[in-house]
Structure 1
Amino acid sequence: MPLTSRPLRKLGFLTIGLFDEADPRRGHESTLEIIELGERLGFDSAWVRHRHLQYGISSPVAVLAAASQRTSRIELGTAVIPLGWENPLRLAEDLATVDILSGGRLNPGISAGPPMHYDRVKHALYPETADIEDLGYERLRRLLDFVRGQAVTDFSGTEGFEVFSDRVQPHSPGLGGRMWYGGASLRSAQWAGEHGMNFLTSSVVKAEEAEDFAEIQLAHIRTFRGYHPDGDRARVSQGLVVIPTDTASAEQRSKYEEFAARRLPRTATPQGPARMLFAPDLVGPSELIAERLHAHAAFREIDEVAFALPFTFDREDYIQILTDIATRLGPALGWRPAA
């Protein structure tokens, strides 16, 4: 088996946190229980997706605040918060608060650009300013400045009995170095590197100069590190959909294989006007998945992963998949669980 150039150092997972509209608490509790399981299994990080006006987590920062009080070690991330839905100043306050509560374990993943279906929601989001809102990188730069402690106002000091700060409070000194950009293009990779962020890659990329997924993702990673002050030491996390079947039942294996087969056609060619290209889901015994990852050009460049759990599986499936990742696949990739 070929060896990776970078031994796998950090193993994480990503979940969407689905719930039933009639019983949303049960779904949110299940997500928290999965994060607790991840910590017990030794995972280094747990990440939650962000879904607005859907039956998934709409407030990942709030969910991770709860998770911070039910765990003690595992890093907690968002993958990713679409910043077009947020006020950067208020979000900076929330992120810093949760980071303080977690003891410095928060890893906020952010993306820029217009929200999904913006034309249908913009008048609810920004009734007076929808058509003049800056939804691009400048909005993200403001968030980074606020998180990193730059002044928000020219006023500070005491007014009557109240004391005011000129920067976001609480200020969490290490949080600025744990901000991640969820990127799928060369431009986003360059911007994240230039602004000293970390870089989240996923199972979706934009086919700009090639149509081979691994080749495209590798170009993004190298572009990011080429512009980052830390160079080759800049942090990149890869988030493919990975489903080991070592301890799965026959019924589970059949479900997983059917899931991957339904999604396979979209991996053949770029999809839609944006030419988005999807990576095939990796399903099978851990030894086989490890071989496929070792052969993946982009995987060989990184030492952190946050494998994505499929959206629609059952809780028992997630327990089996996470357990196999931690006890079978992770060690096959050279990883060792945290104490």
Structure 2
Amino acid sequence: MKKIGFLSFGHWSDHPAYKTRTASDTLLQSIDLAVAAEDIGIDGAYFRVHHFASQLASPFPLLSAIGAKTSKIEIGTGVIDMRYENPLYMVEDAGAADLISGGRLQLGISRGSPEQVIDGWRYFGYEPADGETDADMGRRNAMQFLQRLNGVGFAEPNPYPMFPNPPGLLRLEPYSEGLRERIWWGAGSNATAIWAAENGMNLQSSTLKFDEGGKPFHIQQAEQIRLYKEAWKKAGHSREPRVSVSRSIFALVNDQDRYLFGQESGQVDKIGYLESDKRAIFGRSYAAEPDQLIKELANDEAIREADTLLLTIPNTLGVDYNIHVLSAILEHVAPGLGWR
């Protein structure tokens, strides 16, 4: 069995072919999509977070709205860029959203991805400390966020408060028990996957990673996952970790599918560069008739290593078509691979 969720980038544009012409369209359709996805048996609704772009940004209002209108589906991010975040304020937002959803939040965080603007976190008022890189700052913020999720008091109470305080040091409220175990780290390298395991975070591995050996993407990603699991075991954590991988997968079951995604059939991995000088490998998309798709996906080592598969979706094509895309995977592909 494998959990299957969707991952939306939340694009919008005033384009004649788009169902999401405005930010309002994208936000409201994201809620509707999560509700409909829960109805057909999808396990998770996950959303990308990008700043300074016509895409979803601050995630907690959306996650809270979805939590209020659903009852079973996991609700998450992939990923929140911690270079932009006030960790303590984020603890409060995350706690509120998790309580609204009844403990279904699955927050993916990371140091972030290439941006629309240069050093966008500076506009949010954040600067690396002396001797730090922006990646160091993101990891430092992540560690502070994790620490304050534990519900332990740390703030000295006012002796003359507006309202009576409980005894001892004060923690951030609202506190949501168990949320600390539902934080995921989006790792782009083997080293950061190991770091995530050491610090008790679940692992999100997307459709790209730094090229660390020249092997096909799915093999490198599987190796990353195995290194993560080894590090988790070595760290001695008491619970079992979770691991997700993201894929673009389209079962071609009608003429519209073939028209929109038939050209992606037979794609291969791509090599590119992140931050101008870091060689990265980008995983292929999968698009084929269901029987062929099952054969191709059966050879994907990283999917076999993961307990959760996040299907990237074309959110601009609207709720109905995306439910068709997800339903096709559940009906025609998942059973043949033992996922359902």
So what's the TM-score if we normalise by structure 1? Answer: 0.86
Query: 2:17: which partner in 1?
Result: none
> 2:257 matched to 1:252?
yes
Secondary structure of 1:12's counterpart equals strand
Query: Contact (CA 8 Å) 2:243, 2:306: kept in 1 or not?
Result: yes
Query: 1:86: which partner in 2?
Result: 85
> Which whole-Å CA distance do the structure 1 matches of 2:140 and 2:129 have between them?
16
Specify whether residues 50 and 160 from structure 1 end up closer, same or farther in structure 2 by C-alpha distance, changes over 3 A only: closer
Query: 2:12: which partner in 1?
Result: 19
Secondary structure of 1:94's counterpart equals helix
Secondary structure of 1:298's counterpart equals helix
Equivalent residues in 2 for 1:111-130, closer than 5 Å: 111-112=110-111, 116-117=115-116, 119=118, 121-126=120-125, 129=127
> Which whole-Å CA distance do the structure 1 matches of 2:272 and 2:312 have between them?
21
Equivalent residues in 2 for 1:1-339, closer than 5 Å: 8-20=1-13, 23-112=22-111, 116-117=115-116, 119=118, 121-126=120-125, 129=127, 135-155=137-157, 159-163=161-165, 166-228=170-232, 229-230=236-237, 233-246=240-253, 248=254, 250-258=255-263, 260=264, 264=267, 267-272=269-274, 273-310=277-314, 312-336=316-340
Unaligned segments of structure 2, at least 5 residues? 15-20
Specify whether residues 296 and 232 from structure 1 end up closer, same or farther in structure 2 by C-alpha distance, changes over 3 A only: farther
Secondary structure of 2:273's counterpart equals coil
Identical-pair percentage: 27
Secondary structure of 1:271's counterpart equals strand
Secondary structure of 1:205's counterpart equals strand
Q: Shift of the alpha carbon at 1:36?
A: 0.8
Query: 1:3: which partner in 2?
Result: none
The residue type equivalent to 2:247 in the other structure is L
> Which whole-Å CA distance do the structure 2 matches of 1:270 and 1:120 have between them?
21
Specify whether residues 277 and 156 from structure 1 end up closer, same or farther in structure 2 by C-alpha distance, changes over 3 A only: farther
Specify whether residues 121 and 201 from structure 1 end up closer, same or farther in structure 2 by C-alpha distance, changes over 3 A only: closer
Structure 1 residues 240-298: Cα deviation after superposition (integer angstroms, max 9, x where no partner): 1111122x3x233122123x37x957x24343521111111011123322222221122
Structure 1 residues 183-208: Cα deviation after superposition (integer angstroms, max 9, x where no partner): 12011101110011100111111102
How many pairs does the alignment contain? 323
Specify whether residues 276 and 313 from structure 1 end up closer, same or farther in structure 2 by C-alpha distance, changes over 3 A only: farther
Q: Shift of the alpha carbon at 1:162?
A: 4.1
The residue type equivalent to 1:103 in the other structure is G
Q: Shift of the alpha carbon at 1:151?
A: 3.6
> Which whole-Å CA distance do the structure 2 matches of 1:232 and 1:243 have between them?
34
Specify whether residues 18 and 122 from structure 1 end up closer, same or farther in structure 2 by C-alpha distance, changes over 3 A only: closer
Query: Contact (CA 8 Å) 1:32, 1:67: kept in 2 or not?
Result: yes
Query: Contact (CA 8 Å) 1:114, 1:135: kept in 2 or not?
Result: no
> Which whole-Å CA distance do the structure 1 matches of 2:49 and 2:189 have between them?
20
Query: Contact (CA 8 Å) 1:82, 1:111: kept in 2 or not?
Result: yes
Query: Contact (CA 8 Å) 1:107, 1:178: kept in 2 or not?
Result: yes
So what's the TM-score if we normalise by structure 2? Answer: 0.86
